[in-house]
Structure 1
């Protein structure tokens, strides 16, 4: 009997250790000290288990791709392997590696897009910061299927790539990024308060984004955005031409620069000095503040404004007041800058 009790005690003592060892072998990615080196791999979105296994084999993380596929399916993690860029430790067993891939966090890259940037500059920054293919990005911005899907009535996505600072997982695709930025813009218009205000304005989404891009081109001080928007809305209501300098900067090919009277005569539907109403579409990619400032514009009687030169503006109601303010500021500018 004593021997039986001793045997039972030994079993009770050893069983947890045995279970732990089994679990450790199959799941825990503890690595021996001499196999700490890590290998970088990229798993594309939608990659099949076989494709993942082939990548692991090419990187030297496993010797037999079919064996890895066997373990991954046996452990039920076939659909749980994330996409992205990862650094994987060397020396893992097949089951350890399979489980490691379901828990490892992909590496990330951040990108900052500035309000008012033209689409070309945004694409250049995305390509550089996220290591994306510029040609594919260019193609996506003009993809008619994509534009139709998101209800963008234009030939490209200008105006709908919402500027901000974003963090993307390594390995994100060009299409994922473009779609994400468009969707961030469209989310602004989902709020009931925004929808209601747009109905009151008689504006559709594209018109709001178009005017917001002009506001973005003018505003440097957040508090002035709703006031600048009010000026343009007041002019539209009166049938006045917007006479917005940012639309001319959009037309010229050697800008941004100081505009001339010759520039104001350029024949283009985007020239708001020659043609009344809104231009055909956005002239840049406005930020959320300018979009909301356009929707919730201040209630003013202002029809004019002129830049002070420090980022702020002088707003006026009549042409006479505007001319007076302009002459005063021109004198100050000439005194300081000599022109």
Structure 2
């Protein structure tokens, strides 16, 4: 092949490739345009939906609607009450709007609201209420209780049995509906196959007032669940900074709840756990052994430490599969803001006072001094 022929062939090849590139670019441009249109439609639809939900339900409505906000209600439960009574279009959007505006100090009381009210007008109204009557009864759920222990508290304060309570909090269909109601609290993490009870650690411990003589089990459960949802929402920013999920937070906090004998110890115990996790050292915390055994004991024996169970942190590294008890705000805050220490060991003496150590030899010395 002479030089002229070679040049012609190269020219033809370049021309063909240039044409192919042009076709590919056109295809890519069309695909990109379609994608942008789809995103635009989706974004516009989402914007339109949210914007609509932020508007009054019916700007021309005249009639007033009687709304009762029970004492102790959080933003989550209030949002549901407003949606149920047709005063707001979407409970979730009202809740997020109130939190965005940093509005949470709502008052229990009787309200006369209308469908023509804006969200800001509703919020202002909810801040002026007065307690309108005493609760029919109150129920105190202490920190550090398992679901089965909470069931006993419910049975003591209501006509429901502990078995009925446990059947409700372990019902798969009911739990699935709760995930839809509390998507920021209940995630797929609760479906870990090693978790004993799906909602363990998710019912916030507190004293709850009830304004009806016989509230349903769903009312009782969702009152506690809604409170936990509101509590956890306060720490979203810190959780994001620490790259910590809700499930990890409640699991970690539950260990502190069970281990701490004094409020001031929680941050230091948290530092011990974080220090151990940082070097892949087992947490070796006795409450997880007791949870593995499914029974309370005054003293954990060496043979107990060998129980083959995912929750046993003597046998398994890292956090257990899920929370081992209900945790209060103090333990949640300690889990997010631990002390900065070099401790890797601690023990509680016979008076319940904790003693910390940096090395195993120091820990053995503490055992000899405080437990022998």
TM-score, structure 1 normalization = 0.64
Give the whole-Å Cα distance in 2 for the aligned partners of 1:307 and 1:83: 44
2:176 to 145, 149, 154: 145
Kindly state the Cα deviation for residue 228 of structure 1 after the two structures are TM-superposed.
0.8
Give the whole-Å Cα distance in 2 for the aligned partners of 1:83 and 1:297: 37
Is residue 147–residue 157 contact of structure 1 (8 Å, CA) maintained in 2? no
Q: State whether structure 2 residue 142 is matched by structure 1 residue 114.
A: yes
1:225 to 260, 266, 270: 266
Give the whole-Å Cα distance in 2 for the aligned partners of 1:300 and 1:106: 47
Give the whole-Å Cα distance in 1 for the aligned partners of 2:266 and 2:368: 24
Give the whole-Å Cα distance in 2 for the aligned partners of 1:225 and 1:147: 31
* 2:137 partner SS: strand
Q: CA RMSD in A?
A: 2.6
Distance 1:133 1:278, change over 3 A: same
Is residue 108–residue 169 contact of structure 1 (8 Å, CA) maintained in 2? yes
Q: State whether structure 2 residue 158 is matched by structure 1 residue 158.
A: no
Is residue 145–residue 326 contact of structure 2 (8 Å, CA) maintained in 1? yes
Kindly state the Cα deviation for residue 137 of structure 1 after the two structures are TM-superposed.
2.4
Distance 1:315 1:147, change over 3 A: farther
Give 1 or 2 for the bigger CA radius of gyration: 1
Say how many residue pairs are matched.
236
Give the whole-Å Cα distance in 2 for the aligned partners of 1:212 and 1:322: 24
Tell me the equivalent position of 2:222.
179
1:190 to 233, 239, 247: 233
Give the whole-Å Cα distance in 2 for the aligned partners of 1:300 and 1:147: 39
Give the whole-Å Cα distance in 2 for the aligned partners of 1:298 and 1:319: 20
- Give CA-to-partner distance per residue, 1:127-159, whole Å, 9 cap, x none: 321334544422331233145233243252110
Give the whole-Å Cα distance in 2 for the aligned partners of 1:237 and 1:216: 21
Give the whole-Å Cα distance in 2 for the aligned partners of 1:167 and 1:259: 37
Equivalent residues in 2 for 1:41-52, closer than 5 Å: none
1:169 to 174, 198, 211: 211
Give the whole-Å Cα distance in 2 for the aligned partners of 1:83 and 1:315: 47
Is residue 83–residue 106 contact of structure 1 (8 Å, CA) maintained in 2? no
**Over 3 Å off, 4+ runs:** 79-84, 104-107, 130-136
Is residue 119–residue 284 contact of structure 1 (8 Å, CA) maintained in 2? yes
Give the whole-Å Cα distance in 2 for the aligned partners of 1:159 and 1:298: 24
- Consecutive unaligned residues of structure 1, counting only runs of 5 or more, are 1-75, 85-101, 332-339
Is residue 254–residue 323 contact of structure 2 (8 Å, CA) maintained in 1? yes
Distance 1:130 1:82, change over 3 A: farther
- Give CA-to-partner distance per residue, 1:227-278, whole Å, 9 cap, x none: 1111111111111100000000111144223111111011111010011001
